């Protein structure tokens, strides 16, 4: 029987995505240790377009640890204590999946402890069991910007090869414990985003390494090895489990048809594919080796590590997609921090330019390049929602954004791409990753906390809540209603 081209495949999963460090809270509770996220302050006067928690040195780190700040991610939205309320709302919306992360420091508070934290494991025991009762399948990210602070202060973060074994032990433990609940495992969140979230992802202090750029890629190599080790373990011990690599889509377009713009855009895009090329194709590509040589980057690796990577490639690709930018060769370079805004797109107040067609293009290109199953691990747009006097949020802008991006996904599927899930970021409001604020709201459910954690925490269904529920129930057909 042929599928209606206006409907998603019958096994396609609709859901949402959150990160433990942005939702759970429970800082220091039941033995949880400190992670990178727990020392990110809310800076109300910072530029909304500036990710101030990115490249970190010792002085700034010390100020953030010991300064007089409010740390929103220590509170989150109290998911740790209120998870049943949130899961009940998702079940009411008929969500079929929830991508979430396990907090490394809730399991091993220091990252390298001799024994796991029993209370931390019990929390996820209860969470996954409750999700099963509500027919919501978890997709789990093993490391989502939550490197234990202890491993940064005393071990140098991911640039230290010893972290591979500590991370492997943690990952192996939760795979063993939760394999009956979780089929899809994303090992490292947005592994390619080291130009925007280097400290959160890699835990490197720029003044503690000789060559900062080299240290980043050395740390990435260690994440490659750790990913391959866990992929090997899954494949050898649990039939049917799937290991995923995740990219934050950074596909660029040339600012003009000038040959220089086209060439630089091509080379920049290829370097964002590099991370998935290694983990999905099993080797360092020649263009990346040339890039390292041209930039005086020398990565230490062993033949055994390269062989491990070669033999244990990931099973699927997870993509986060929010916005797109362009490249002007007269201004930009191979530095991924350089790019231009697209004058033909509309941006929100955080500078994110809406481009649904870019999602169709990138997912189609990933499919053509890799031919592995894919999922949307994050897609959403931050808005400053206004709560009306009658406790409503009329968020037609969120409905429009989600509708247009789901149409783009369906178009890619109809052109042959194997996409098995869509996880909206986030199904309920959580603390922003980049700016640590609540005011940048993504959810279909309003969570009544402000930027300082004040409020009664009421969960209020936005207009988009009913809309998304109807999209799920219609398998996408309602996307084409007026």
Q: Mean pLDDT across the chain, nearest whole number? A: 94
* Domain-embedded: residue 320: yes
End-to-end Cα distance, the chain = 27
- Residue 49 is predicted with a pLDDT of 60
d(CA 176, CA 215): 32
Residue 464 dihedral angles phi and psi, to the nearest 5°: -65, -20
Maximum CA pair distance of the chain? 64
Q: Is 298 a domain residue?
A: yes
**Bridge partner residues of 378 (DSSP):** 320
Q: If residue 17 lies in a helix (H) or strand (E), which one and from where to where?
A: strand 13-17
Position 447 pLDDT exceeds 60: yes
The predicted structure's pLDDT at residue 348: 75
pLDDT digits (tens, 9 = 90+) for 52-108: 678 889 999 999 999 899 999 999 999 999 999 999 999 999 999 999 999 999 999
**Residue 323, phi then psi, degrees to nearest 5:** -160, 180
Residue positions counted in the chain: 482
Would the pLDDT of 47 be above 70?
Answer: no
Please report whether residue 5 resides in a domain.
no
CA contacts within 13 A on the Cβ side of 255: 16
Q: Which sign does the torsion angle of CA 366, 189, 222, 287 carry?
A: positive
Q: Is residue 412 part of a domain?
A: yes
Quickly state the pLDDT bin for 3 (edges 50, 70, 90): low
List alpha helices for 330-419, DSSP H.
356-370, 396-414
Tell me if residue 242 falls in helix, strand or coil: strand
pLDDT confidence of 285, banded at 50, 70, 90?
very high
Of the candidates 417, 404, 410, 472, which has an alpha carbon nearest to the alpha carbon of residue 16? 472
* 392 touches 446 (CB < 8 A): no
The mean pLDDT of 459-464, rounded to a whole number, is: 97
381 assigned to some structural domain: yes
- Work out the pLDDT band at 1, boundaries 50, 70, 90: low
Closest listed residue to residue 104, CA positions, set 114, 88, 117, 89: 117
What CA–CA distance (Å, rounded) separates 474 from 436? 35
pLDDT at 50 over 80: no
What are the start-end ranges of the H helices in 193-283? 198-202, 212-237, 259-281
Share of the chain above pLDDT 90, in %: 87
The neighbour count for residue 250, using CB atoms within 10 Å, is 23
- Does residue 440 fall inside a structural domain? yes
Total domain count, the chain: 1
Residue 1 is assigned to a structural domain of this protein: no
CATH code for position 121: 3.20.20.80
- pLDDT value at 349 more than 90: no
CB atoms within 10 A of CB 475: 17
In a domain, 426, yes or no: yes
Tell me the pLDDT tens digit for each residue of 200-215.
899 999 999 999 999 9
Cα–Cα distance, 426 to 320 (Å, whole number)? 12
Q: In the structure, what pLDDT confidence band is assigned to residue 350 with cuts at 50, 70 and 90?
A: confident
Domain that holds residue 55: 13-480
């Amino acid at each position: 029987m042929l599928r209606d081209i206006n409907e998603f495949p019958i096994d396609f999963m609709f859901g949402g995505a959150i990160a433990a460090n942005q939702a759970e809270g429970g800082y220091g509770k039941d033995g949880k240790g400190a992670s990178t996220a727990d020392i990110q302050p809310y800076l109300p006067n910072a530029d909304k377009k500036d990710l101030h928690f990115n490249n970190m040195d010792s002085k700034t780190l010390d100020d953030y640890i010991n300064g007089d700040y409010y740390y929103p991610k220590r509170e989150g939205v109290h998911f740790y204590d209120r998870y049943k309320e949130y899961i009940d709302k998702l079940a009411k919306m008929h969500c079929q999946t929830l991508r979430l992360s396990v907090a490394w420091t809730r399991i091993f508070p220091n990252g390298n402890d001799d024994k796991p934290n029993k209370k931390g494991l019990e929390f996820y025991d209860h969470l996954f069991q409750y999700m099963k009762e509500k027919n919501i399948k978890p997709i789990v990210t093993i490391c989502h910007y939550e490197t234990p602070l202890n491993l940064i202060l005393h071990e140098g973060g991911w640039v230290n090869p010893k972290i591979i074994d500590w991370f492997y032990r943690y990952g192996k433990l939760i795979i063993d414990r939760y394999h009956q609940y979780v089929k899809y495992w994303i090992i490292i969140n947005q592994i390619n985003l080291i130009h925007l979230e280097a400290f959160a992802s890699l835990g490197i202090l720029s003044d503690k390494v000789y060559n900062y750029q080299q240290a980043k890629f050395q740390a990435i190599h260690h994440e490659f090895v750790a990913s391959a080790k866990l992929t090997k373990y899954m494949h050898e011990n649990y039939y049917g489990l799937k290991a995923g690599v995740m990219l934050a889509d950074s596909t660029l377009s040339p600012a003009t048809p000038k040959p220089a713009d086209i060439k630089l855009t091509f080379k920049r895009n290829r370097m964002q594919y590099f991370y998935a090329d290694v983990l999905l194709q099993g080797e360092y590509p020649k263009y990346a080796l040339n890039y390292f040589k041209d930039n005086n980057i020398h990565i230490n690796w062993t033949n055994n590590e390269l062989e491990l990577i070669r033999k244990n490639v990931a099973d699927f690709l997870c993509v986060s997609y929010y916005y797109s930018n362009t490249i002007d060769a007269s201004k930009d370079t191979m530095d991924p921090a350089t790019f231009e805004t697209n004058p033909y797109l509309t941006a929100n107040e955080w500078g994110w330019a809406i481009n649904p067609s870019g999602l169709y293009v990138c997912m189609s290109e990933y499919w053509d390049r890799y031919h592995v199953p894919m999922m949307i691990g994050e897609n959403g747009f931050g808005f400053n929602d206004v709560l009306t006097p009658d406790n409503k949020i009329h968020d037609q802008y969120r409905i429009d954004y989600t509708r247009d991006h789901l149409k783009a996904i369906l178009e890619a599927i109809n052109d042959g791409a194997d996409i098995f899930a869509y996880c909206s970021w986030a199904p309920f409001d959580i603390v922003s990753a980049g700016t640590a604020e609540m005011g940048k709201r993504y959810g279909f459910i309003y969570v009544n906390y402000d930027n300082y954690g004040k409020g009664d925490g009421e969960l209020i269904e936005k207009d988009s809540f009913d809309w998304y529920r109807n999209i799920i129930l219609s398998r996408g057909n309602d996307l084409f209603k007026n």
